[in-house]
Amino acid sequence: MKLSWEVVSNSDKLWVKVICSKYGVDPRHLPLSLPEKQGSRVWKAIRSTWSATMRGARWAVCDGARTRFWLDCWATKQGPLINLAEHPIPQELVNATVRDFTNVHGSWNWPVFEHLLPSCILLQIASVMPPDPRLGVDKIFWRFDPRGSFTVRSAYESLGQLDLTDTDTAWHLAWSWKGPQAVRIFLWQVLHAKLKTKDELSRRHIPVSLGCERCGAPLEDIIHVLRDCHCIKRLWLRLVPDRNQLAFFQSSLREWTIANLQNKWQIACPLTWECIFGVTVWRLWYWRNHFNVDGKLADSSTIYLDIMARANEIHRLNQSQISQQLRRKEILIGWLPPPWPLVQTEHRWLL
């Protein structure tokens, strides 16, 4: 985590510039998750703690020239504003800085963004002083330390808190998923990142080519099989509304899985989104294996129909179980003691 924090907070250091350049990350505009590709031990160490580090990184807005309005944490404790938006963010505004949202008088330019965010978040933005060039450059700080400095102790404590909550939530989401046990077990494997993709097989020293045989991408890892593969992207674009697509395609595997099982982005659909998501990832894994065995690539319409048929069936069964539960009547039951027998002893009759 110390290395991750160095990358986050010291983008001018030479080694940070070198490693970011090598792995295609812009150190001045840090992503919420890093690309999941092979790399050196240092890069793997940074990648493994990146999400936790980014959750602790907050921006103190001064001139507003570096902090990104939608993508960085600066106004609220709930994370980047893009995750809290109620409407799709116009593409040209996604990477805009905080300074871009002020008017010529130096005040917040409310008409540009007030229709995109809920009122409770707007109130929090109103409590932040608009950027001012006289205050100097924006500064990043560590929110788990009262002085804003990164310390191993505060990082360790924050990691413990975050992991405990996160892990408990994740397992609960997988095991409480309403549907066949096979899907629950599959979701549990996804959260454990244990699917036998090419990446995982290679990690276990099994000699396989790393690339995706369906689309030709250089690395087939879990997030590629379940979300990013070119051959299935059209399917997700059909299922996920336009306004949610940016956040949907940005998060890391674990965050993505948890967010969908919680329907964090409030994706509206005729069935429950949790049901459709669980069935979709489960069937995408089936169709990937089907291709590897038979060599036949199913088109996205076939996969879509397969998923929707199964999701509808599971949803129907869930609904019928709920209605059966509602039909049940509560009946109070009791127990009447039998008449006491008379037992003869040597000297007396006992009841």
Binding site for Zn ion (CB under 5 A): 212, 214-215, 217, 229
Which residue lies nearer to Zn ion by CB, 138 or 221? Answer: 221
Which residue lies nearer to Zn ion by CB, 173 or 222? Answer: 222
Q: How far is the CB of 198 from Zn ion (least distance, A)?
A: 10
Helix (H), strand (E) at residue 60: strand 57-60
Q: How far is the CB of 276 from Zn ion (least distance, A)?
A: 21
Chain centre distance of CA 333: 47
Q: How many whole angstroms separate alpha carbon 1 and alpha carbon 55?
A: 12
Which residue lies nearer to Zn ion by CB, 212 or 311? Answer: 212
Q: How many whole angstroms separate alpha carbon 70 and alpha carbon 50?
A: 19
Q: Are 226 and 285 in contact (CB under 8 A)?
A: yes
Which residue lies nearer to Zn ion by CB, 2 or 230? Answer: 230
Helix (H), strand (E) at residue 112: helix 110-113
Q: How many whole angstroms separate alpha carbon 216 and alpha carbon 207?
A: 18
Q: How far is the CB of 216 from Zn ion (least distance, A)?
A: 7
Token pair listed for 230: 């070119």
Which residue lies nearer to Zn ion by CB, 210 or 258? Answer: 210
The b/e string for 89-116 (b: 16+ C-beta within 10 A; e otherwise) is beeeeeebbbbbbbeeeeebeeebbeeb
Q: How far is the CB of 91 from Zn ion (least distance, A)?
A: 25
Q: How many whole angstroms separate alpha carbon 169 and alpha carbon 222?
A: 21
Which residue lies nearer to Zn ion by CB, 84 or 217? Answer: 217
Q: How far is the CB of 286 from Zn ion (least distance, A)?
A: 15
Q: How far is the CB of 222 from Zn ion (least distance, A)?
A: 12
Token pair listed for 73: 């944490």
